Amino acid sequence: MSALELLPLEIWEKVISRINDPKKLVKLRQVCSVFNQLIEIEMKKNKEWKGLLPNDMQMWINNILAKKYPFKKPSNLKLIPNLWKEVFFSYKNWRLFGDKSRKIHSFRLNVSQFSQNENITCLTTFAHLIAVGTNLGSIFFYKIGKSKNFFWAAKHGSSLTKVQFWYQGKNNLLALSISRDRALKFWNVSQRKSIVTPHYNATNIHVGITHRLFIEFFRGITECKYKSNRVVLRAHCAVFQDDNGPRNNFLTMYSEKKKLIVMTTYDIILRVITLGVPGPRGTELTKISNIPYRLMPRRPPVDLALIPNKKLRLFKNGKFFTIILQDWPNFPVYDYELYRYDEDIFVTSIAMHEPFVMEQAHDYNAGE
């Protein structure tokens, strides 16, 4: 029996309008198509989708939008009710990814183009594309969901350590690769050709959520621009001017709007450096802040690090997580022993496990 056979449509509209808990409304959407349509109207009208998002999720909005709409800049997306809905379900699916009972879609890449003894050393994704780098210096590009998913191969020349997509507008999806000897090369994936550049080097690369590219080499950071089918170097900054030396370790970068955040370590000191990114004609990345944090001694080196937004820094050394959150002025560093949470967790992505650790950190902070 359908809902309309029990009560008229206008009665169901009044019933649903009196339900104030958006979580209950989300569950009721699954009852039937009538409920789904009525609840959809109600939730959009009262902006319920935005209210469903947990506080921790707010820090991931730009990252979720960048993944869901890779060809747009998150800053250009007006967060209308439909977008809040997309963000909510994307976040829910992401949180469920670590559930061992959850079925995960998988597919096989066609590796018939690989040479004998050729192995994958790095990979990256963008929208529906995958780029795979190998120990023989090749880059293979695939389209997800196509029966014949391989569509192009490029030859860097040496064993690859990093490969990354860089979107620069319609018909200009680029890729860049770093080899073991730190040679940096560029490719136009849309046009399936290499981009001729001077001899560039890099150790680390970062493409921000607004499609700006930064490279790190020899403790300096430079922004790259793509103009008139050429890659040129623009603004630059020497990150390790004050404590330059072999004990420095560059961890990660994150860029959002007009700022670039860099995380480094020097012995047991972790530094979070914020740089101002100049306009189109600027030539210098200017230091805005340089905040040191003392790590606990005798820890293993930092092996995973992530800056998902301008407020949060996450890193892992051994079985320990450290969270730095700017919103906790009296509690800037939180250390958490991961094996106390679950001995079965093997962390390969601190972004995936961050919600669990944040929950523990909030509980600890609330008890202070």
pLDDT at 82 over 60: yes
Q: What is the number of structural domains in the chain?
A: 2
pLDDT digits (tens, 9 = 90+) for 27-79: 888 888 888 888 888 777 767 777 777 766 777 778 888 888 888 887 777 77
**pLDDT top residue among 160 and 61:** 160
The whole domain housing 345 covers 312-368
pLDDT digits (tens, 9 = 90+) for 240-290: 765 555 577 888 899 887 889 998 888 778 888 889 988 777 778 888 888
Residue 360 belongs to a domain: yes
Residue 30 belongs to a domain: yes
CATH of the domain at 41: 1.20.1280
Residue 365 belongs to a domain: yes
Q: What does the pLDDT average to over 126-131?
A: 91
**pLDDT top residue among 132 and 296:** 132
pLDDT at 346 over 90: no
Contacts of 331 (CB under 8 A, 6+ apart): 365, 368
Rounded-to-integer distance, Cα 233 and Cα 156, Å: 20
pLDDT at 366 over 50: no
For the four alpha carbons of 141, 260, 251 and 284, in that order, the dihedral sign comes to positive
Q: What does the pLDDT average to over 298-317?
A: 77
Q: What does the pLDDT average to over 320-328?
A: 71
Residue 363 belongs to a domain: yes
Percentage of the chain exceeding pLDDT 90: 24
Final residue of a domain: which of 30, 46, 62? Answer: 46
Residue 259 belongs to a domain: no
Residue 64 belongs to a domain: no
Rounded-to-integer distance, Cα 20 and Cα 31, Å: 18
Q: What does the pLDDT average to over 187-196?
A: 95
Rounded-to-integer distance, Cα 57 and Cα 219, Å: 33
Average model confidence (pLDDT) across the chain: 79
pLDDT at 102 over 60: no
Rounded-to-integer distance, Cα 169 and Cα 228, Å: 12
